[in-house]
Amino acid sequence: MSSDVRFTDFKSDKQPTWCPGCGDFGTMNGMMKALANTGNDPDNTFIVAGIGCSGKIGTYMHSYALHGVHGRALPVGIGVKSANPDLEVMVSGGDGDGYSIGAGHFVHAARRNMDMTYVVMDNRIYGLTKGQFSPTSREDFETSTSPDGPKQSPVNPLALALAADGTFIAQSFSSDAQRHEEIVQQAVEHDGFGFVNVYSPCVTFNDVDTYDYFRDTIVDVDDEDHDPTDRDAAREKITNDTEYQGVIYQDEDSVPYNERHGLDSNMADIPDGAPEDATDLVREFY
Amino acid sequence: MPDDLNWAIGGEAGDGINSTGKIFAQALSRAGRQVFTSKDFASRIRGGYTAYKVRSSTERVESVVDRLDVLIALTQRTVEENMDELHEGSVIIYDGERTMMEDFEAPEGMIDLAVPLKSLAEDAGGAIMQNIVALGAACEVANFPIDNLDEALEKRFGDKGQSIIDNNQDAARLGEEYVQEEYDEEFSYDIETTDNDYVLLNGDEAIGMGAIAAGCRFYSGYPITPATDVMEYLKGRLERYGGHVMQTEDELSAINMALGAARAGARAMTATSGPGIDLMAETFGLVAQSETPLVICDVMRSGPSTGMPTKQEQGDLNMTLFGGHGEIPRFVVAPTTVSECFHKTIEAFNYAEKYQTPVYLVSDLALAVTEQTFAPEEFDMDAVEIDRGKLVGEDEIDTWLNDSDQFQPHFPAADGISPRTLPGTSGGAHMTTGLEHDELGRRTEEQEVRIEQVDKRNQKVETAKEEEEWDYREFGDPDADTLVLSWGSNEGAMREAIGFLDEADISVRFISVPYLFPRPDLTEEIEAADDAIVVECNATGQFADVIEHDTLTRLKRINKYNGVRFKADELAERITDELDTPQEVPT
Ligand SMILES: Cc1ncc(C[n+]2csc(CCOP(=O)(O)OP(=O)(O)O)c2C)c(N)n1
Ligand code: SF4
Ligand SMILES: [Mg+2]
């Protein structure tokens, strides 16, 4: 890791094709800064991106990266980290990717607590497929596939993470660049699964969950003297219907999966032939 | 075969049938006898008939046969289920004091051996050992020195402490002595022991051991019969070699985690059965598109859907050859014996890394549940070779950068194989994606690049066709007019069937094909034969279809899809039926 890394080193030479004004620009900038601030560089960083407008970050950032199939980014990240714990692993995707098609993996990633970061660009809409309701869309949000609103409760991602014993649960707003960067950085620094739900507005298909809406409603937990290590206080914040930003819960005693399972070597390093004492395996069958 | 002993224990699921059978198989193996086992079981934890059968000889045994010499019957149904295989002189050991067996009488001509299994077990320290009492009785019947059983009991109960071992050894002795004292019958079995060393293992264990030998370090999987034994074998052992076994939330996760580990540079594998293969299909395409080396093992069971989860079938050939949307270059390798499960797993890892492709390693339930003896030298660890392909380290990375100093993970090399560098390598940072991409791994829809990348990926298979040996395994008479072809576990039964056919003066040439894609060209072999017959455990003849397509020749087919593997004698008869001049086969 070199100390003179600038966040722009994490930028690729591909110009983003997101709509002008898309929240994902700000979300990605914060991610790059958080990585640079924590002493990472593109050669030791692995980004896994889901499928969606959000998933394009794999292309716009410069690092080792895989842009996989829809909804399966988390398991890929877990595999990468298991095989080489020295890598900084950051997984990112949309609300549909993470809370709908990939919801199962989200719950299990939270309880597994691998030392990695998960940034969800939550625009409460399916952007890439051009405007269908998403799992975080409001009950009355009118879209092409919900002319009268989805008429079902939105998922509360923070509550899901807490229920699954997530050890770091945070939320940010892509347009509050300073706070967003700080919060993602804390997630990167967390020993375990650092999860940040980022309000990342879609200016094209969501006219309800807009920049103005979040600017007007968002409350910083730091302004309410919140103690993120207090689980009950966290539960209260997560379920009281306020749009918060900040670190809402952090388990300070978190021991990540990789440590609990003694994953401390680079699995890429193997001998030229069978392991030295492999004949013992044959002997077991006598 | 005079020295053959066909032995079985049967009862209800939950009666400890498998572990008892395994102990007996182990004892025979320790005594230098060859063993081939099979299991009949229903998909229930309790209730339902289940049996463990052991065929044993001083010579090589490759198959089950329709014959049972000694049967330990814990239930009446066990006898009914096996009536066809019992014969005059078969010995039936049972507990005459057990309510469900108290009115039992062995069929005419068979030897009725009522032994109070439960009371004797209680005398030795606990009713739980009643199966062990039966094993002791079986040793006496077969004239098999009981100290061989002692060793197997030590192995089985070694971690439970000496007193448990002692009790079990006593229980076995009580069974043996009871038969000595109560019966003055002359049993016709007198089984020989030898000084040969054998190891006893099943196909799933052989795959697991092959994976470790090949340097696999990451395994992710979701439990499913009959692939779970691969994961259970690896858990604990893989960790000893610096690896990790991860039980995942589902098969989608399993293949994606393995993919992640592989991108980080670990040799990685997942194993599943049909339903899991279906779930993995989307990511299988991603593995190929991102050119990630990965071994995906399908231990086939009867389908479709949940089908018959504990029954044999070779129904996934089309899925592994053609499954997934779009056109996916891949390798499909299918071991034909338990020991080949070891060797083909090692090969699969090498193909995966050398050609940066997904490799399907296709096994089947019959291989997975069969415990078979082998000379330990068949698993020669010194002979294991590891080929990591075009792996580029820090010192060579400059060679593979473009003019803008970017690494090109999908560089269109003439042989189709691009350089590969691992995360953590300075100067190598790059992305890849399941989207069509350029040589840098970035999305593109440019027509020339699309064509170049498709051709490049397909070229890897062409290169492999040239560079590797895609041989078949051949048995029988190479000049025979009749050619039999098969894949997967049928090889063992077919090899023994050749012996039966020989006795009827029918000679056959048998070709067993372990490489399904790329696969050997069989045109000449088929042209040279008068009759060519394809044997496989499925209803539609998927392998026959593929070979017909390759060779533009109609083939005869022998299919079996009742959930039970072929037996040697049965196969010999069915082959005879296919021939133009059917004959009686003495079996
Ligand atoms: C298996 C599968 N189903 C459906 C799709 C189509 N699809 C692509 S992205 C997407 C939803 C994207 O929504 P979200 O994850 O919220 O990302 P956003 O575009 O809003 O950033 C869908 C349904 C797909 N690519 N794969
Ligand atoms: S459609 Fe919405 S989410 Fe997608 S790029 Fe445009 S603004 Fe962003
Ligand atoms: Mg979205």
pLDDT at B98 > cutoff 90: no
The verdict on residue B484 lying in a domain is yes
Quote the mean pLDDT of chain B.
95
Q: Do both B503 and B566 map to the same domain?
A: yes
Domains of chain B: total: 4
The beta-carbon neighbor of A282 closest among B376, B385, B426 is: B376
Q: Do both B255 and B378 map to the same domain?
A: yes
pLDDT at B185 > cutoff 90: no
Q: Under an 8 A CB cutoff, do A268 and B215 touch? A: no
* Owner of token pair 């020195």: B145
CATH label of the domain that carries residue B304: 3.40.50.970
In the sheet with A116-122, reading across from the earlier edge strand, the strands are A219-220, A244-250, A168-173, A193-199, A116-122, A88-94, A45-49, A64-67, B431-433
pLDDT at B43 > cutoff 70: no
A55-59, B18-22, B185-189: the lowest-pLDDT one = B185-189
pLDDT in tens, B242-275: 999 999 999 999 999 999 999 999 999 999 999 9
Q: Do both B409 and B369 map to the same domain?
A: no
pLDDT at B3 > cutoff 90: no
Share of chain A above pLDDT 90, in %: 98
Q: Whose CA is closest to A161, among A196, A124, A115? A: A196
CATH label of the domain that carries residue B181: 3.40.920.10
At a CB cut-off of 8 Å and minimum separation 6, what does B184 contact?
none
The verdict on residue B389 lying in a domain is no
The verdict on residue B388 lying in a domain is no
pLDDT in tens, B304-337: 999 999 999 999 999 999 999 999 999 999 999 9
Question: Among B35, B154, B381, B421, which would you mutate to test the A interface (most chain A Cβ atoms within 10 Å of its Cβ)?
Answer: B381
**pLDDT confidence of residue B120:** 96
| Domains in chain A: boundaries | 7-283
DSSP string over A27-54? HHHHHHHHHHHTT--GGGEEEEE-SSSG
Q: Do both B375 and B433 map to the same domain?
A: no
**Of B383, B412, B445, which closes a domain?**
B383
Quote the mean pLDDT of chain A.
97
CB contacts of A281 in chain B (<8 Å) are 209, 212-213, 237, 379, 381
DSSP state of A252: T
Q: Give the pairing type, strands B515-517 and B508-512.
A: unpaired
Q: Do both B175 and B237 map to the same domain?
A: no
Question: Among A270, A277, A279, which would you mutate to test the B interface (most chain B Cβ atoms within 10 Å of its Cβ)?
Answer: A270
At a CB cut-off of 8 Å and minimum separation 6, what does B584 contact?
B504, B576
CATH label of the domain that carries residue B552: 3.40.50.920
C-beta of residue B280 within 8 angstroms of C-beta of residue A75 = no
d(CA A281, nearest CA chain B) in Å: 7
Confidence class of residue B346 from pLDDT cuts 50, 70 and 90? very high
A14 alpha carbon – ligand 2 mean position (Å): 17
pLDDT in tens, B500-524: 999 999 999 999 999 999 999 999 9
The verdict on residue B583 lying in a domain is no
CB contacts of B241 in chain A (<8 Å) are 275
CA distance B172 to B153: 10
d(CA A83, nearest CA chain B) in Å: 5
Question: Which B residues 426-465 touch A at CB under 8 Å?
Answer: 426-435, 442-443
Q: Under an 8 A CB cutoff, do B212 and A281 touch? A: yes
The beta-carbon neighbor of B425 closest among A43, A278, A285 is: A43
Backbone torsions φ then ψ of B93, nearest 5 degrees: -100, 130
Query: How many Cα atoms sit within 13 Å of A81 on the Cβ side?
Result: 30
Helices (H), B66-116: 76-81
CA distance B140 to B161: 26
Q: Do both B73 and B173 map to the same domain?
A: yes
pLDDT at A30 > cutoff 70: yes
Q: Whose CA is closest to B354, among B387, B384, B330, B385? A: B387
CATH topology of domain A7-283: Rossmann fold (3.40.50)
**pLDDT confidence of residue B102:** 82
**Of B467, B488, B507, which closes a domain?**
B467
The verdict on residue B296 lying in a domain is yes
pTM tops 0.90, yes or no: yes
Average pLDDT, integer, range B413-417: 98
**pLDDT confidence of residue B186:** 78
Q: Do both B60 and B138 map to the same domain?
A: yes
d(CA B357, nearest CA chain A) in Å: 16
Q: Which amino acid is at A40?
A: N
Residue A273's H or E segment, with its range, is none
Kindly state if the Cβ of A109 falls inside 6 Å of ligand 1: no
pLDDT at B146 > cutoff 60: yes
**pLDDT confidence of residue B1:** 44
> Would you call B281 an interface residue with chain A, using a CB distance cutoff of 8 Å?
no
At a CB cut-off of 8 Å and minimum separation 6, what does B311 contact?
B301, B302, B365, B563, B564
The beta-carbon neighbor of A59 closest among B283, B423, B431 is: B431
Structure tokens, B448 = 């020339």
CA distance A134 to A123: 9
Q: Which amino acid is at B505?
A: D
C-beta of residue A55 within 8 angstroms of C-beta of residue A25 = no
Share of chain B above pLDDT 90, in %: 89
Residue nearest to atom 9 of ligand 1 (CA): A52
The verdict on residue B459 lying in a domain is yes
Average pLDDT, integer, range B224-239: 98
DSSP string over B368-411? HH--EEE-GGGG-GGG------SB--GGGGGGGB-TTS-B-TT-
Model ipTM?
A: 0.98
C-beta of residue B333 within 8 angstroms of C-beta of residue B359 = yes
A102 alpha carbon – ligand 1 mean position (Å): 10
**pLDDT confidence of residue B187:** 81
Q: Under an 8 A CB cutoff, do B260 and A66 touch? A: yes
Confidence class of residue B116 from pLDDT cuts 50, 70 and 90? very high
C-beta of residue B500 within 8 angstroms of C-beta of residue B523 = no
DSSP state of B418: P
Q: Do both B238 and B332 map to the same domain?
A: yes
Q: Under an 8 A CB cutoff, do A274 and B382 touch? A: yes
**pLDDT confidence of residue A262:** 97
At a CB cut-off of 8 Å and minimum separation 6, what does B188 contact?
B89
Secondary structure in 3-state letters for A204-233: CCCCCCCHHHHHHHCEEHHHHCCCCCCHHH
pLDDT at A1 > cutoff 50: no
Helices vs strands, H then E, count in chain B: 18, 21
CB contacts of B431 in chain A (<8 Å) are 12, 47, 58-59, 63-67
Q: Do both B139 and B167 map to the same domain?
A: yes
**Axis crossing angle, helix B338-355 with helix B203-213, rounded to the nearest 10:** 40
The verdict on residue B390 lying in a domain is no
Question: What residues form DSSP beta bridges with B559?
Answer: B536
The verdict on residue B371 lying in a domain is yes
A128 alpha carbon – ligand 1 mean position (Å): 6
A67 alpha carbon – ligand 2 mean position (Å): 18
CA distance B39 to B29: 17
Average pLDDT, integer, range A246-254: 98
Q: Do both B257 and B318 map to the same domain?
A: yes
Question: What residues form DSSP beta bridges with B114?
Answer: B94
**pLDDT confidence of residue B47:** 66
Average pLDDT, integer, range B527-536: 97
Region for residue B484 given its phi and psi (left: phi exceeds 0; alpha: psi -120 to 50; beta: otherwise): beta
Q: Whose CA is closest to A236, among A221, A258, A253? A: A221
Domain that residue B306 falls in: 201-383
CA distance B581 to B576: 8
C-beta of residue A70 within 8 angstroms of C-beta of residue A101 = yes
Kindly state if the Cβ of A263 falls inside 6 Å of ligand 2: no
Q: Do both B541 and B408 map to the same domain?
A: no
Structure tokens, B310 = 């504990």
Count Cβ neighbours within 10 Å for each residue of B485-524 and write b for 16 or more, e otherwise. Answer: bbbbbbbbbbbbbbebbeeeebebbbbbbbbbbbbbebee
Residue nearest to atom 2 of ligand 2 (CA): A202
Question: Which B residues 388-427 touch A at CB under 8 Å?
Answer: 404, 422-427
Confidence class of residue B188 from pLDDT cuts 50, 70 and 90? confident
Q: What angle do CA A225, A180, A47 make, to 5 degrees?
A: 130
